[in-house]
Chains A and B, each alone.
Chain A
């Protein structure tokens, strides 16, 4: 039953990805100002949205871990697994943003990169979460999860700054398409393909987030069992 549900979800997600690609390449009209290069928006913006969402998952997981680590150790492990999964999958999506963005910028602005507010704060966000993953990978000892949780909360503070950066500081990056100044928004003919791609990337993201969570839970169970066996062997 569980396998069938996973298979069905994966099939729906793949169908949505194919449909989203078709919408982005063949249904959405060419942008009057930017031309063909505008089509990067269908991968760039959904990836940024999903990255923000998963960093929020990591934030909640980190808060959960710090709240429950003494009172409910089992709940704390679950929260920690969500925190790690959110951070790692968020980094993958943020990497997509930081690679598709310069490709778009090169054609639209004539430059690969500039130290504008939106680009710089996004790079800082990515670096914070990469350091979170490095801490979890290479540090050892009983305090690693606690330190990682604190760093996870600290990193999440950058998310609203990234989101607001092109509202607070008008530098190179364009003003927000959604929720921006009066007159901002997207033409109906482009909005449909955009929303399909948002849905497709959200479903894909949730799929790999849950997979990453399960891998971490399995890892925790194996580590716990090994520690238990080592204890019993010493008795």
Chain B
């Protein structure tokens, strides 16, 4: 592969990595938010007893 093709390939890999970092980062944020809501619901239920 010539230098331009190598650089193109690196840009493609960078784009794919950025995409996955954004998507998995957001998924992690949702998982944290979900467990926080579950914890809040459980705390409320136990305080009612």
Contacts and interface: CB of A to CB of B under 8 A. Distances in A.
Contact of B38 (A47, A212, A218, A226): A218
Interface string B1-43: 0001101110110111011001100110010011001101100
Contact of B44 (A44, A212, A225): A225
A215 B44 contact: no
A6 interface: no
Contact of B11 (A40, A89, A208): A40
Contact of A36 (B5, B33, B37, B41): B5
Interface residues of B, number: 25
B37 to A, nearest CB: 4
A53 interface: no
Interface in A16-57: 21, 35-37, 39-40, 43-44, 47
Contacts of B26: 89, 92, 208
Interface stretch (A102-110, A114-122, A173-181): A102-110
Interface string A209-229: 001101100110110011001
Contacts of B19: 43, 47, 96, 99-100
A44 B26 CA distance: 18
A211 B22 CA distance: 16
Given A99-B18, A222-B40, A226-B44, A37 B30 contact: no
Contacts of B37: 215, 218-219, 222
A37 B12 contact: yes
A30 B11 CA distance: 14
Given A96-B19, A215-B30, A103 B14 contact: yes
A95 interface: yes
Interface of B: 4-5, 7-9, 11-12, 14-16, 18-19, 22-23, 26-27, 30, 33-34, 37-38, 40-41, 44, 48
8 contacts: A92-B22, A96-B19, A103-B11, A106-B11, A204-B23, A208-B30, A211-B34, A215-B37
